[in-house]
Chains A and B, each alone.
Chain A
């Protein structure tokens, strides 16, 4: 503890004094508010455990369903596998189709109506027919993730490719770059910020999609566990997967942000 304090003092000397206190205040505020919320929840939740539950009970429930028992753990694994496979497929396909539509009018005109219509169709509406086609297991997870993620990815990447500043294209043209060279040296790097925005939207949407599908149709998986715990009024257990999903979503977003910083170091943020 003492070591930490002295270290933070050294850091304070090195950083511009305007930045550091603001940064520290933000951190303090974030942890402070978390602490207050948890404390209030504990106090109020103890009054009505079935309705609200409370942090210590949730922590204990987490220990029970994740460590002592492996049902929720294997449900997480199932969900994650479907999510990962689907998201990778949606990323690869979505980026490719998005760039094709951004580059070639033919593709754009031919595919736009379908992409826009499917983008606007609520995912939940197509789950019954998907169950009919691919069943209720791994196939459903992958399909729903792809369908949830791919359309926002296509649309965002297409818009990004189309909006690459004319000034970059002027440079490519004035040096007589071929179409392929122009794409590789100007359009692709110029639209990378859009690609990352697309992936963030895709990651969020497919997470919603897979949980909804599992809750509605699957006999296993995280969504199914949420339903089970809910039906038996095991509020403390119910909150474990819910919090885990929220945590996972934050993790995904931060990972994508980190990756973006690595890939596009020229972007000042």
Chain B
């Protein structure tokens, strides 16, 4: 399976082309305003590209679809629905029978480690738990591609690290391919098979880094691996260049 996004042309993005391999984990990283969130939303069908195509499994994919679902930075749970009813949402929209969708939602809540919290409202859950609900909600329709827009950006550092490990486990269990957006170099390296560094004005992909660290990565101390440190230094060098070339504000910061 290939997911090919060819020659997108958007005011903030130019000639962006990328492929997420089946079951692979690809991360977009870049300075603020490089259009990585826009790119993700275009892939998800929430925004339209001025030109270019998006294919999922080789089939052109226009607009939102069930085979590509989103996990949002601010969770975007419905506050009036319990955890279970939030997870059920995609199936409800598809018209899956009540009994079946509740069973499946229970399974997915279990997958993300929230067994026993079915009846809790979002405001009764911590940020990390809310995002687990968000992940379960996106996975329940069994998408081929999971689009994650800085999903851990609003969480504290500890929760963030914990959920990074959890996400790896969930991905290996479901086999879903992921397109991930982040600001964190460490997060990008830890999670990804490929990291794509983006530059600004216009938004474009500057360089691709394959991450050769063996999986599963939660079984050893990845951050102590020499490959991790090397990749980190190289990635940072590339990003720093983009930051300096970028907006006047970020120039002032690096000068």
Contact = CB atoms under 8 A, between A and B. Distances in A.
B interface majority secondary structure: loop
A31 B218 CA distance: 63
Contact of A176 (B65, B76, B122): B65
B153 to A, nearest CB: 14
Interface in A145-191: 167-168, 170-177, 181, 185-186, 189-190
B246 interface: no
Interface string A245-269: 0000000000000000000111110
B46 A175 contact: no
Interface in A181-214: 181, 185-186, 189-190, 192
A174 B78 contact: no
B165 to A, nearest CB: 26
Interface string A72-101: 000000000000000000000000000000
A87 to B, nearest CB: 26
Contact of A174 (B44, B74, B92, B121): B44
A211 B122 CA distance: 44
Contacts, number: 56
Interface string B59-95: 0000111100110101010111000000001101100
A168 B76 contact: yes
Given A168-B78, A172-B93, A266-B79, 6 more contacts: A174-B69, A175-B64, A175-B69, A176-B93, A265-B121, A266-B80
A23 B121 CA distance: 27
A175 B79 contact: no
A190 B77 CA distance: 12
B93 A177 contact: yes
Interface residues of A, number: 21
B123 A175 contact: no
Interface of A: 167-168, 170-177, 181, 185-186, 189-190, 192, 264-268
Nearest to B75: A167
Interface residues of B, number: 23
B183 to A, nearest CB: 20
A189 B69 CA distance: 23
A5 to B, nearest CB: 35
B202 interface: no
Nearest to B85: A185
A174 B80 contact: no
B80 A176 contact: no
Nearest to B78: A168
B72 A170 contact: yes
A266 B46 contact: no
B78 A176 contact: no
